[in-house]
Amino acid sequence: MSGDIQHLTDADFEEAIQGDSPILVDFWAAWCAPCRMIAPVLEELAGEYGGRARVGKVNVDEQGAIAQRFGIQSIPTLMLFKKGEVADKVVGVASKEALTSLLDKHL
């Protein structure tokens, strides 16, 4: 994993989603094949959007309270937060183009 992606926990999640720049949070699990498929795309986006938007990951097996709070029922689920609020959501594997347009829409 690249240093550009924040691995979020119950302890730092709230602070992470409050930032000024939007954060795209990937709710995932190690056993989830589609989650592994989308991981390289998220790495690229984290690098390309550095300074403008952030990318975070929440392991639903380790951080169940966060997943429960947002009603995550299938993974991967990607949620875009702006100033602590859910601004957008994608369930399932999305193309890099789809995620780029999602991020651009909220910048």
15 is catalytic: no
Catalytic residue of the set 29, 32, 87, 91: 32
Catalytic residue of the set 8, 16, 24, 35: 35
Burial 79-88, CB ≥16 within 10 A → b, else e: bbbbeeeeee
32 is catalytic: yes
Q: In what order do the strands lie in the sheet with 5-7?
A: 5-7, 54-59, 23-28, 77-82, 85-91
Active site residues: 32, 35
